[in-house]
Structure 1
Amino acid sequence: MVRAERKYVDLMRQSTVGLFANWDPENPIEVGSYGRFDLDTTRFTVLGNIYDPEFQVLLDAVDGNFTMSDHPPELDPVEQDMIITSSGVRKHLFSPGADAKKENFNKASFKMNFKFLSGKRSAVLVIHKPRLYHVPRNTVLDVLYRIPEFNGLCIVPSVYKCRGWSIYLSSKLEETVAVALLPSKVGFDLEWWSNSDSDFLRQGTDKNGFASPLFAAQQKLPLIRRYMRGMPIPDPEPDKFWIDGYPGWEPLDEDGNDDPIWEEDYEPDVARVWRRTMCKSSMTRW
């Protein structure tokens, strides 16, 4: 059995820096969410949000003068279309193929071919008209660092929202997949076209731009040492002591299952002990 979601999320994690893919962009991850990654499904399990009214109690315990409602999320301007590919994928000029149904591809908002190499699974994520939605920079994370309940958890400081998204996970066979974003035949929205009918092709549009196919996840630096015995732990500089979130699941084989070969032969003992300790501690909190 192919665990498509697990493999796709892991491939996107390897292809980006500090970003994680959402297999179901229509079920959005919101800015300010905090929680942990499920090691079995790779989904981000949300335990709460820093903008929830009840979160203010935790914030008041470390800083009674800071109110989250005074620092709402910010929305950046629309960016160019994003195309994220894992290894084993090549981008080519669009060609729908001789057997494609007649479409007006000249009006496409996006069109491209992706060639997948054989022997391994590869993934593509296309994000149409993305906008970065994020907590205010250099004002929020430094305060949140002092909250002890965040130990072992991840926080989502930013999310990419978009008008349209296309996800594809290859079949380990050599293949070429064409995708295009066309004007809808009904109404004034957009719709995706592809020459593939694979179960691992997922596409959608959102005229309101609320879909979230990609998000950042960060966690507190696990350890800050005192300079001298007896000295208090120093307050962090803005955003300095947050690092890219480490999801914690095992390296995966081509079908999305844990790969026992990696753990037995390749992973250093120190890395394995640290990973399992962090994952175990995060599962016992809250």
Structure 2
Amino acid sequence: MGSEQQYVDLLYRATKKFASWDPEVPVEVGDWGRFTTGRPRWAFWRAKRCLFVKEGNIYKDKIAEKYEIPEPRVIGEDSSDGLTWFTSPNVRDIDAESQTPLLPECDLKAGFQFSSDGGAVLVMAHDSLTTIDPASSLRRLLEVDTLRDRVLVSETHHCASYARYLASPRTGNVVIGLTAQPPPGAPSAQAEFKWVHSAIKGDFKSKADGTGERRCCPLYKIVSLKGAGQGGRRGSVDDEMPLPLPDAVPPWMAGNVPIGGSDDKKVSEFSKR
């Protein structure tokens, strides 16, 4: 299992959401398409990956309007400070302040303790959640032939700054923080945002944007339009209490998904103290 697949796998088991290996690739609620496994043709040397291939968007394609799917709702749009993080089941939160003197320049930081097997962490600054409410309204799309056997993005997390970390075995404790410091030699200049961490090994990637514009999508939820209905039936749009569409599963997990968490219980928040 390559690094990207391992990262996606670990966070999916905790959140039932898909973590993006490249959060700067645009993903929006309503995007629909399919999964494919393989390598981009221009990068035949790379390891095989799970790719969500977008084929359309139900809002731009006017499908949502025809089937009366509500417009997406944004939660936390006015949030201005704090970190939110998601961790794999084998990672435990620890008090970052107790790890002094690690990252003393950071007002925003979080600490993690990894098991001997390693683990995965996604940290976002000032994130927002975009979702479709009620989620059960998406069952109406089961009647759309164009979307048959496809998958659909039903929730997205967007942020201006993120840090993702895939820890190697025997990593131990790691602190990840976001600092805002003026450029060297220019104390009166606008502060530059930067992610810093105490890890000495593993795969770390980040983006820090001081503008506050939420251009990155590090995490999103995908549901399946393969017609799994209530009690094994496809289900009717007129059901008295229709259930949400089932979660889509990464291709390598199909038929065998031992999920570590039933929902977003692994989410923690840290605000400036």
TM-score w.r.t. structure 2 length? 0.72
User: AA paired with 1:191?
Assistant: K
Aligned residue runs from structure 1 range 1-286, under 5 A: 3-16=2-15, 18-39=16-37, 40-52=48-60, 55-56=61-62, 59=63, 66=67, 71-78=70-77, 81-94=83-96, 104-105=105-106, 108=107, 110-118=108-116, 120-137=117-134, 140-186=137-183, 187-188=190-191, 190-196=193-199, 198=201, 200-206=203-209, 207-220=212-225, 222-224=227-229, 234-237=236-239, 240=243, 242-250=245-253, 271=255
What does the per-residue CA deviation read over 1:254-277, in whole Å, with 9 as the maximum and x for residues that have no partner? xxxxxxxxxxxxxxxxx47xxxxx
Greater relative contact order, per chain length (Cα 8 Å cut-off, separation 6+): 2
SS of 1:133's equivalent?
strand
- 2:2 & 2:193 partners in 1: Cα distance? 30
Structure whose CA Rg is larger = 1
- 2:235 & 2:173 partners in 1: Cα distance? 55
Checking the alignment, whether the CA contact within 8 Å between 2:150 and 2:226 is kept in structure 1 is: no
In proportion to residue count, which structure has more strand? 2
Partner of 1:264: none
Checking the alignment, whether the CA contact within 8 Å between 1:170 and 1:200 is kept in structure 2 is: yes
User: AA paired with 2:90?
Assistant: G
Q: Structure 1, unaligned stretches of length 5 or more? A: 252-270, 273-286
Provide closer, same or farther for how the CA distance between residues 205 and 140 of structure 1 changes in structure 2, counting only shifts above 3 A: farther
In proportion to residue count, which structure has more helix? 1
Provide closer, same or farther for how the CA distance between residues 139 and 203 of structure 1 changes in structure 2, counting only shifts above 3 A: same
SS of 2:22's equivalent?
coil
Answer with 210-219 or 241-250: which moved more: 241-250
What does the per-residue CA deviation read over 1:201-245, in whole Å, with 9 as the maximum and x for residues that have no partner? 111134201211111110135345999xxxx97335476251111
Provide closer, same or farther for how the CA distance between residues 175 and 151 of structure 1 changes in structure 2, counting only shifts above 3 A: same
- CA-based RMSD of the aligned residues comes to 3.3
| C-alpha displacement of 1:140 | 4.9
Q: Structure 2, unaligned stretches of length 5 or more? A: 38-47, 184-189, 257-273
Checking the alignment, whether the CA contact within 8 Å between 1:37 and 1:45 is kept in structure 2 is: yes
- 2:165 & 2:244 partners in 1: Cα distance? 35
Provide closer, same or farther for how the CA distance between residues 239 and 13 of structure 1 changes in structure 2, counting only shifts above 3 A: farther
What does the per-residue CA deviation read over 1:7-29, in whole Å, with 9 as the maximum and x for residues that have no partner? 0000000011x311111111131
Provide closer, same or farther for how the CA distance between residues 226 and 242 of structure 1 changes in structure 2, counting only shifts above 3 A: closer
TM-score w.r.t. structure 1 length? 0.69
Provide closer, same or farther for how the CA distance between residues 185 and 155 of structure 1 changes in structure 2, counting only shifts above 3 A: same
What does the per-residue CA deviation read over 1:11-48, in whole Å, with 9 as the maximum and x for residues that have no partner? 000011x3111111111311111112333412322111
Provide closer, same or farther for how the CA distance between residues 205 and 150 of structure 1 changes in structure 2, counting only shifts above 3 A: same
Answer with 239-248 or 26-35: which moved more: 239-248
What does the per-residue CA deviation read over 1:121-168, in whole Å, with 9 as the maximum and x for residues that have no partner? 311111222211123536852432211222221101110112322211
Checking the alignment, whether the CA contact within 8 Å between 1:117 and 1:172 is kept in structure 2 is: yes
| C-alpha displacement of 1:195 | 2.0
Task: Give the paired residue count.
Answer: 232
Provide closer, same or farther for how the CA distance between residues 241 and 91 of structure 1 changes in structure 2, counting only shifts above 3 A: closer
Checking the alignment, whether the CA contact within 8 Å between 1:226 and 1:234 is kept in structure 2 is: no
| C-alpha displacement of 1:50 | 1.2
User: AA paired with 1:35?
Assistant: G
- 1:233 & 1:27 partners in 2: Cα distance? 34
